[in-house]
Structure 1
Amino acid sequence: MTALRPSCREDFEIAIICALPLEYNAVALLFDEFWDGDGDQFGRAASDDNAYKTGRIGKHSVVLALLPGMGKVSAAAAAASMRSSYVALRLVLLAGICGGAPYYNQDEILLGDVIISKTVIQYDFGRKYPDGFARKDKTEGNLSKHNKNIRTLLATFETDLGGDGLQKKTSHFLRQLQAKAGDHRTRYKYPGTAEDKLFESGYRHKHRISPACICSNCHGRTDPVCAGALASACNDLGCDERYLVKRNRLKTRRKLEQGGNNEAQDPAIYTGTIASGDTVMKSGEDRDRIFQKEGVIAFEMEGAGAWEEVPCIVVKGVCDYADCHKNKKWQDFAAAASASAVKAILERYIQTDKRRGVVVEEPPCHFLVPFGRNQSFVGRETILSKLRGRIWPGTNKDDCQRTAVEGLGGIGKTQIALEAVYRVHEEHPDCSIFWVPAVDVNTFENAYHDIGKHMKIKGINEKNADIKRLVKTALGDDSIGSWLLVIDNADDITLLFGVTRLSDYLPFSRKGSILFTTRNHEAAVKLIVQKSGIVPVPEMDRSEAFDLLRKGLNESQRSDTKSTERLLDFLAYLPLAIRQASAYMDKNQILTSEYLELCESEREDMIDLLGRDFDDPHRYKEIPNPVATTWLISFHHISRHNPLAAEYLKFISLLAEKDIPKSLLPTARKIKALEAIGTLKAYAFITQREGQDSFDMHRLVRLAMQNWLENKGLKSYVSSAIQRLDQAFPFPKHENRDMWMKYLPHAQAALEFREHLEGGMVDASLLFHVAESYYLLGQYQKAKQLHQQSLQLREKVLGKEHPSTLSSMNNLANMLSILGQDKEAEQMYYQTLQLREKVLGKEHPSTLDSMNNLGNMLSILGKDKEAKQMYYQTLQLKEKVLGKEHPSTLDGMNNLAGVLMDLGKYKEAEKMYCQTLQLMEKVLGKEHPSTLSSTNNLALMFRNIGKYEEAEQMHWQTLRLYEKVLGKDHPDTLTSMMNVAMILSKTGKYEEAEQIHWQTLQLREKVLEKYKAAEQIYRQILQLEEKVLGKDHPSTRRSQRNLDDCLRVKK
């Protein structure tokens, strides 16, 4: 493209005039260059007091002027002076802001729309009579017509083709202006539909309740309001939104805005009559009167002054509705819309031939991007908006801007960069764009060679040419114009900063900008990208992910909305995984529900799917597309750069994916561990939980790593992981609950890989600890299964008489007892006790625990006398061996008190319960589960002896503490709820009792696998309802059916 740079003022035929600095600022942003950076080159006439800026907009040389003040007089004087200096002007554009009429014919005018003058009238030009103002007739009040040149130009904009083209270009240049605004970009942000308020024309802007000012006397259109009201916003005055005018176009725009569609801000453009006057129009009723009489669609203050002096088009953005409810929030945006329309008009303006001037050759523009535009690209508008405000070369005039898009492999960084460069190409067609893949040295050098050939760099094709150096030097020359360089896949630290040091060949030019895509945060930092220039890319949100999937499938394949949503959740909203999934479904013509079933059925199937290749024209052919392979590349980078980080990644891939405590990681020197964790975070394989010392691992990364480990042989990795977990996992107790709760899901996840081991001591020990954890959580079936597995392993490895084996036997018997398998539990308790007496001796604490447990079993079986004898014997030994205040001794006291109560010895039982409770509170604290059990037992004691008031108070206290300490769905909490219900029924509070019974039942059915407890509660509810409601009541009959169903299931 060539541009004629003027040699003198006579070569300018286009000018832009602005009345306000904010209008001037917006127009200046759309100049492609200014020519007077080093001082004024063209001067001005002796009688001219105006100050000018000269430069280029597109192919046109343009002079820009700012008026010294608002109004017709100022505009007329400035225009006359401008004509004396620039005698060849053929088109002057008066750009800025105006008040708009609400309608144009049948169309609605909204704030931010643009009005172009077809004619201008002076609405305040007339005579003042005693009974009012009369404007002069139209012939005198209207200004002269445009010249033929301008009339022809405006006529094209009234055609469908010309009007649509002008509107699209205006929207395009508006986005360009917003991107170019840099630090001021928020100034030109679309204010939003919520700020676009049109009140009924007669609704006044005044204080609603203010007896101290004149607003209280304002009832008609001519009544004055106070100065404070005139200076206040509608929100401050409480202008009632019930008086807003409903508008369909605003509703449509709001839907676009809510959907994140950038088209919501696009201005409509109207050509019509503009009213110009020396006063600001601030009356909705006067506005409507002039609109209806004259057909006016905009009100401003300078057009009439400039119109008669120069060939002029008024181009104004609507910033308010010319009423008393003015809103300054729209002024900058409206000025930007006006400036954008001015540039769009100039693009269509045909300039006359020049007889003089110096032809300046513009540098050729290059567009070297290896992919076409991705028509399936969706969403990511927030990220693209950030990039648009940074990557255009003119954003930072003092530096070569560097920006990095970073995120996990497959997150869509390349596709975002691709869409960004196509948008830059649209908005800045004079900006060269180059694309360089940094996959390895060869791809980097080949891309540089292509750049050199297109730029016709001297020596680029010579045999021993230093290609990278030649291209770097060429791009560093400001004379080649503006450029954007994309360095894609800048991931490998060794490649960028090692022996090859590709980073040394990145060019510098103040007319240039570099955009990196990287999966490595460390690379972004080392490439001297400031923190503000690093743009992280998260997973897609749900709507974006759905849109991407929709692009690859027909409607019938995704008709099952629930399955589709579950599939996207399973794929973690990762774009590459979604593309891979849609390609597979499209190829095999299967539904989203069928693909989801494959993902969820077997881990091996999911891993196989992650490894399937697929065609994608917007990705490099040399690089495999599968998700699993994409991450394997990152893993190899990590292995070379930080081996400890690779070991950590192998380890945590065998754990659960969420909330991985740092304390679980294999031990290493503090600085090495810190760097390793930093590397994994830099590649986005793990993310730090905010405010916590734990991490989350990406679900699909975990699966891919498990696949890699399986191919390498899982045995050694699983063995190491379980060994580390066994070292870290404490014996579960109430006191260390927070720790083992954090470790539990990870131990359980690692144990799922036990099939790859032969079975040994380490996993038996971890199984035992995990089983005990589930016991404390009230998940007794899980605890039983794991204790069985632990017992089998210990018997196999250690033998039947080893103390650890006997611990597994004892705890398995505990689970059998809780789950109602009484005979099996009794037999195992006897067997364990005999072996412990033989191996450990009669007074060993573990032997005493077995004696205590056997006493519990005898009590459950109704053998109270035998139980009492066993408890006495156990308690005496515990006091002797452990001391009177040892927790195990206190448990023995609690159990003995219980059997005394069962035997009807209430006074002895009450005394022992009280003594036990006092000691437990002292030794263990009031909220320890053992203390709560003792409190509960004492409450039962009170209930049995008729102390209902004390029992009810104690049962409620215990329930609240159980809920706090163990949670609402723990079996012990449910038992406490049932006890509350029972004491309520004893005191005649039947409705409350029934309600709590039902709550308990619902939670029991949710938590417990066995029906024994459910049967017990159904019987209690049935008895209660028969007593209160009678046998024939519907609720009573329903409870009978529930009990019958429960008994059938038991059989």
Structure 2
Amino acid sequence: MEDYLAILRLDPELQAEYPGTIKDRLFEASYNHLDDQKSCMQLGCSGELVSRSRLENAEAISPAVHFGLMASGDLVMKSGEDRDRIAAAEGVIGFEMEGAGVWDSFPCIVVKAACDYADSHKSKDWQRYAAATAAACAKALLSFWVPSPSADNLRSVQSNESDLSPDKRIRMPLPEGASSDRESRDHPVFLVPFSKNPIFVGRDEALAKLRSLFFERNQRKVALLGLGGIGKTQIALQFAFLLKQNKPDYSIFWLPAYSMASFEQECAKFVKTLGIRCSDGEDAREVVRQYLNSEDSGSWFLIVDNADDINVFRRSTTSGGGILAFLPTNNDNGCILLTTRSKEVAVALARKEIMKLPHMGFEDASDLLEKSLIDDNGPRNDQAVAKLLNALSFHPLAISQAAAYMNTYEASIEEYSRLLSDRDERSMVELLEQGHDDDTYYHSSQSAVATTWIMSFDRIRRSDPAAAKILSFMAFIEPKSIPRSILPSLETEQQSTHALGTLLGHGFLTQREGDRDTMFDMHSLVHLATRRWNEKEGRGKEMQLMSLARVAEVFPTDDWENREVWRQYLPHALRLLTSMGDAENDDVCKLGFWVGRCLCIDGRPKEAVARLEPVVAITVKTLAEDDPHRLESQHALADAYRGNGQKEKAIELLENIVAIREKILVEDHPHLLTSQHELAVTYLLDSQRQKAIELLAHVVATRERVLAENHLHRLTSQDELTIARLIERQRKKAIQLLEHVVRTREKVLEEGHPHRLTSQQELARAYLAEGQKKKAVELLKHVVAIRENTLAEDHPNRLTSQYELARAYLAEGLKQKAVKLLEHIVATRNKALAEDHPHRLGSQQELAGAYLAQGKKRKATKLLEHVVAIREKTLRENHPHRLGSQQELAIAYLANGQRQKAIELLEHMVATREKTLAENTQVD
């Protein structure tokens, strides 16, 4: 009753609010109101009040229900004394007028709410509240009241009933308390196996859409489609109770369809409850269908719930066909709402009238969690709630399951979130498989989100093995941004389309709209459940190896032209390789090699090292020293080491590779020249300039002899030789060679190609070194603009070009621009690189120089002290970078007035250089 009253209070026009205890006044029976035309307030009624303890109780606003004899008359009772006399004599609980005379026509009960005390002190303040309370009470009473069987329905069954057609069938006598189908037209039936869900929240849009489809657009059949546990049954249940309230002339029926047995059992109950004649051997399902097709059924609304298996719904092997064959088809008085996880089932019944149910929004999900948790779990932390709901993907069943766990074990939201994010996947699965008591589910397994999905996976495996194969494969890759091209290949394109359609239809996949290439996403909790399913089926290892082989087969080479593909595949390949742990096989080596190389190009050298070191370890164990695959993997690892700032390791590997290849390959072999080129570049980074120039000069001379003028490898080596000459102050030669390289590459490479941009960047550096500052700035601005559009913010190439542009700005006197850009570079590199990484330290030193140029001496000094401290720990005493940063710090000390510190540092540097010079002379 209070629920109905609360609904009435939502409408302000009804004024159904409780007037308050201050207006609840009962005078002594002998104290009379003197003027009917005036209120008590106007007259100033001030007689003795009867004391009542309930008015002192905070619960006084809750209405109480009294059962007893009502006194009905044709005049208003206005005397307290007469009231008391009649009540005492007749034992009545109240006085009313409207029921007078009705009893003479037919038996009835009177439901009334008190708006006064049947004395002379009348007040209109209570009339609206009394009317609303009486209406709520009557509504509640009717929802529990079962009509008695009528005399017509208790007649004996005619002996020739079996000869009559189904539509003229004589009904059986009813058990006590049940209503017949004939009565269902006059007294609608409510046959729903669940009670109203007291914690149902939100879903207003879904309920409104159902209401519109059925009662505005007059659709007879609608399918509610969605992922298991997303709330289809709960919405159907809520809609049933709303119909009961708002469409009182409708009978409402509910038939479960998760199996043919459950459907048949409920049909038998349907027939028995409505008292429909069903002779021995007659199919109750067919009897129900005929009844709902007949006029005798009146207006009805049928909910067919959990129809998830197409074989049960449409192609059952049992006699008479599937469930679809037993649903009414030609009665305009009825409507059918189907809930299903299967798009195929939805289409079979509703054709295009399919309503796809989305996940809950944040507010609804938060309300559901709040309503589901018991009150004494402590105050809610909004941030913790948001984190948990995100982890549960706003999935209603997962939220209810989490709340049940927290209630049972008195766990906080934070504790449950920690359990859910446990690295031990088994712990997470245990949480998702733990069902809970809930009388809005058929059995406990349906209250566990992982279990309900695994049941769907089993159905898919039986009905569409190709879809099950794709589903198993997806368990081992990332659940988001899945390219169609990475999926296992099937015999025909039609098979692939059908299999993906099955997974999309069940809601296990969603297809991204607007993508040029077909991309899919999988619900993260479904992804976890698929892995559990593979394990339960004993196919976990087999499917993992199959998935690894597939990705190793389709993963492309690291060519720049393939970058769009390998960027899409990288997250999936990385997840697979991580899941393989220390496994050693050909597919791990093959995939790990190409993943490592692509990571290097993508500016992720640290991850590349992590992927390539295991590959090299396997090849060293299994292949000969001069095996091409072993040398290729070592070469790739050396490249990763260099990018990661591990120059010594890179040089050691490359010197070994060059030595082996010089023994087994001819002088102009491409592989030998590539190794020599990479070793020379690494020498250059390690400040071994003379070695670098000699080796590069040899490579360039050889490549100029055997390769075309515009060949990529020839131009790359010329690039690097130019850089080395720049460092050695051979600027004019460098600019001349670089301008040739840039012109050639601009003819043969696209604008954003990394080699073209690198050449332009190096030419700009040469211009800057030669004092051609404006040329340098313009060219670098062009390079930076393209790299900012095509590379990630922390990509080394993007940061390097920004760094060079900042140096050019500083040389041009544009200090503010230089500082702004350098501060960005330093902040980005501080996040992405190790503390002692040369690029991180180099950008910090350059920023300090910019600060010094701006007159920010303290900032410059503090930053340079940090750089010097790190380099003194990690570089040899006479290393050029260490000496260079010490020199910059000495200059900063002088500018800051710290002369003694500057002198001490400069004296130390002079001593170091003298010592190094003496050692070199002695060696010579």
Normalised by the length of structure 1, the TM-score is 0.64
CA contact (8 A) 1:391 1:514 kept: no
Task: Give the superposition deviation at 1:923.
Answer: 1.9
Q: Which amino acid aligns with 1:641?
A: S
SS in structure 2 of the partner of residue 752 of structure 1: helix
Structure number with greater CO (CA < 8 Å, separation at least 6) is 1
Distance in 2 (alpha carbons) for counterparts of 1:635 and 1:155: 56
SS in structure 2 of the partner of residue 405 of structure 1: strand
SS in structure 1 of the partner of residue 561 of structure 2: coil
- Which deviates further from its counterpart, 586-595 or 898-907? 898-907
1:784-863 equivalent positions in 2, closer than 5 A: 784-863=609-688
Distance in 2 (alpha carbons) for counterparts of 1:1036 and 1:545: 52
Distance in 1 (alpha carbons) for counterparts of 2:255 and 2:126: 39
Task: Give the superposition deviation at 1:621.
Answer: 2.1
Q: Which amino acid aligns with 1:437?
A: P
**Partner of residue 442 from structure 2, selected from 592, 613, 620:** 620
Q: What residue in structure 2 maps to residue 484 of structure 1?
A: 301
**Partner of residue 341 from structure 2, selected from 519, 522, 540:** 519
Q: Which amino acid aligns with 1:552?
A: S
Q: What residue in structure 2 maps to residue 884 of structure 1?
A: 709
Task: Give the superposition deviation at 1:1037.
Answer: 5.5
CA contact (8 A) 2:480 2:520 kept: yes
Q: What residue in structure 2 maps to residue 467 of structure 1?
A: 284
**Partner of residue 445 from structure 1, selected from 264, 273, 277:** 264
Distance in 2 (alpha carbons) for counterparts of 1:493 and 1:360: 35
Task: Give the superposition deviation at 1:474.
Answer: 1.2
**Partner of residue 194 from structure 2, selected from 361, 368, 371:** 371
Q: What residue in structure 2 maps to residue 1017 of structure 1?
A: 843
Structure 2 CA distance for partners of 1:975 and 1:637, relative to 1, 3 Å: same
Q: Would you say 1:734 and 2:557 are equivalent positions?
A: no
Structure 2 CA distance for partners of 1:821 and 1:641, relative to 1, 3 Å: same
Q: Would you say 1:654 and 2:476 are equivalent positions?
A: yes
Task: Give the superposition deviation at 1:981.
Answer: 1.5
Q: Percent identity?
A: 30
Q: What residue in structure 2 maps to residue 919 of structure 1?
A: 744
1:717-732 equivalent positions in 2, closer than 5 A: 717-732=543-558
Structure 2 CA distance for partners of 1:853 and 1:622, relative to 1, 3 Å: closer
Q: Would you say 1:536 and 2:356 are equivalent positions?
A: yes
**Partner of residue 685 from structure 1, selected from 458, 483, 508:** 508
Structure 2 CA distance for partners of 1:758 and 1:559, relative to 1, 3 Å: same
The structure with more helix, counted as a fraction of residues: 2
SS in structure 2 of the partner of residue 378 of structure 1: coil
Structure 2 CA distance for partners of 1:534 and 1:721, relative to 1, 3 Å: same
Distance in 2 (alpha carbons) for counterparts of 1:1049 and 1:619: 66
CA contact (8 A) 2:609 2:640 kept: yes
Distance in 1 (alpha carbons) for counterparts of 2:872 and 2:440: 62
Task: Give the superposition deviation at 1:1050.
Answer: 6.8
Q: What residue in structure 2 maps to residue 1008 of structure 1?
A: 833
Distance in 2 (alpha carbons) for counterparts of 1:415 and 1:452: 25
Q: Would you say 1:1039 and 2:863 are equivalent positions?
A: yes
Task: Give the superposition deviation at 1:788.
Answer: 0.7
Q: What residue in structure 2 maps to residue 606 of structure 1?
A: 428
Q: What residue in structure 2 maps to residue 454 of structure 1?
A: 273
Q: What residue in structure 2 maps to residue 561 of structure 1?
A: 382
SS in structure 1 of the partner of residue 774 of structure 2: helix
- Which deviates further from its counterpart, 810-819 or 840-849? 840-849
Q: Which amino acid aligns with 1:736?
A: N
SS in structure 2 of the partner of residue 516 of structure 1: strand
Task: Give the superposition deviation at 1:433.
Answer: 1.1
Structure 2 CA distance for partners of 1:596 and 1:558, relative to 1, 3 Å: farther
Structure 2 CA distance for partners of 1:837 and 1:383, relative to 1, 3 Å: same
Task: Give the superposition deviation at 1:1045.
Answer: 7.9
1:55-94 equivalent positions in 2, closer than 5 A: none
Structure 2 CA distance for partners of 1:961 and 1:165, relative to 1, 3 Å: farther
Structure 2 CA distance for partners of 1:395 and 1:951, relative to 1, 3 Å: closer
Distance in 1 (alpha carbons) for counterparts of 2:447 and 2:486: 34
Distance in 2 (alpha carbons) for counterparts of 1:731 and 1:491: 43
- Which deviates further from its counterpart, 989-998 or 931-940? 989-998
Structure 2 CA distance for partners of 1:969 and 1:443, relative to 1, 3 Å: same
CA contact (8 A) 1:898 1:937 kept: yes
- For residues 530-549 of structure 1, what are the alpha-carbon distances to aligned partners after superposition, in whole Å with 9 as ceiling and x for unaligned? 42x31111110001111111
Distance in 1 (alpha carbons) for counterparts of 2:822 and 2:293: 81
Q: Which amino acid aligns with 1:416?
A: I
CA contact (8 A) 1:156 1:163 kept: no
**Partner of residue 314 from structure 2, selected from 497, 500, 506:** 497
CA contact (8 A) 1:836 1:847 kept: yes
Distance in 1 (alpha carbons) for counterparts of 2:133 and 2:598: 65
Task: Give the superposition deviation at 1:450.
Answer: 1.0
Q: What residue in structure 2 maps to residue 352 of structure 1?
A: none
Q: Which amino acid aligns with 1:928?
A: H
CA contact (8 A) 1:391 1:484 kept: no
Distance in 2 (alpha carbons) for counterparts of 1:165 and 1:891: 92
SS in structure 2 of the partner of residue 759 of structure 1: coil
Task: Give the superposition deviation at 1:714.
Answer: 2.2
- Which deviates further from its counterpart, 712-721 or 548-557? 548-557
CA contact (8 A) 1:744 1:770 kept: yes
Distance in 2 (alpha carbons) for counterparts of 1:595 and 1:774: 36
Structure 2 CA distance for partners of 1:716 and 1:881, relative to 1, 3 Å: farther
Structure 2 CA distance for partners of 1:891 and 1:1044, relative to 1, 3 Å: closer
SS in structure 1 of the partner of residue 447 of structure 2: coil
Distance in 2 (alpha carbons) for counterparts of 1:734 and 1:582: 50
- For residues 240-281 of structure 1, what are the alpha-carbon distances to aligned partners after superposition, in whole Å with 9 as ceiling and x for unaligned? xxxxxxxxxxxxxxxxxxxxxxxxxxxxxxxxxxxxxxxxxx
CA contact (8 A) 2:573 2:595 kept: yes
Task: Give the superposition deviation at 1:991.
Answer: 2.1
- For residues 776-832 of structure 1, what are the alpha-carbon distances to aligned partners after superposition, in whole Å with 9 as ceiling and x for unaligned? 121110011111122122233444432122111111111222223222211110111
Task: Give the superposition deviation at 1:912.
Answer: 0.7
SS in structure 2 of the partner of residue 389 of structure 1: helix
CA contact (8 A) 2:635 2:675 kept: yes
Distance in 2 (alpha carbons) for counterparts of 1:375 and 1:699: 29
Which consecutive residues of structure 1, in runs of 5 or more, have no partner in the other structure? 1-99, 101-105, 107-146, 173-358
Q: What residue in structure 2 maps to residue 572 of structure 1?
A: 393
Q: Which amino acid aligns with 1:639?
A: R
CA contact (8 A) 1:558 1:591 kept: no
Q: Which amino acid aligns with 1:494?
A: N
Distance in 2 (alpha carbons) for counterparts of 1:743 and 1:593: 34
Which consecutive residues of structure 2, in runs of 5 or more, have no partner in the other structure? 1-12, 14-18, 20-73, 77-95, 99-111, 116-122, 138-181, 876-924
Q: Which amino acid aligns with 2:301?
A: L
The structure with more strand, counted as a fraction of residues: 1
- How many residues were matched structurally? 711
CA contact (8 A) 1:887 1:923 kept: no
Task: Give the superposition deviation at 1:412.
Answer: 0.7
Task: Give the superposition deviation at 1:849.
Answer: 0.7
- For residues 714-766 of structure 1, what are the alpha-carbon distances to aligned partners after superposition, in whole Å with 9 as ceiling and x for unaligned? 222111111111111111222221111111111112222213x8421111111
Q: Which amino acid aligns with 1:738?
A: E
Distance in 1 (alpha carbons) for counterparts of 2:363 and 2:802: 44
SS in structure 2 of the partner of residue 735 of structure 1: helix
Distance in 1 (alpha carbons) for counterparts of 2:625 and 2:238: 68
Structure 2 CA distance for partners of 1:1027 and 1:512, relative to 1, 3 Å: closer
Q: What residue in structure 2 maps to residue 404 of structure 1?
A: 223
1:10-89 equivalent positions in 2, closer than 5 A: none
Q: What residue in structure 1 maps to residue 411 of structure 2?
A: 590
- Which deviates further from its counterpart, 593-602 or 568-577? 593-602
Structure 2 CA distance for partners of 1:781 and 1:395, relative to 1, 3 Å: closer
Normalised by the length of structure 2, the TM-score is 0.73
Structure 2 CA distance for partners of 1:361 and 1:483, relative to 1, 3 Å: closer
Q: Would you say 1:989 and 2:814 are equivalent positions?
A: yes
Alpha-carbon RMSD: 3.0
- For residues 551-582 of structure 1, what are the alpha-carbon distances to aligned partners after superposition, in whole Å with 9 as ceiling and x for unaligned? 12236456222122111101110001111111
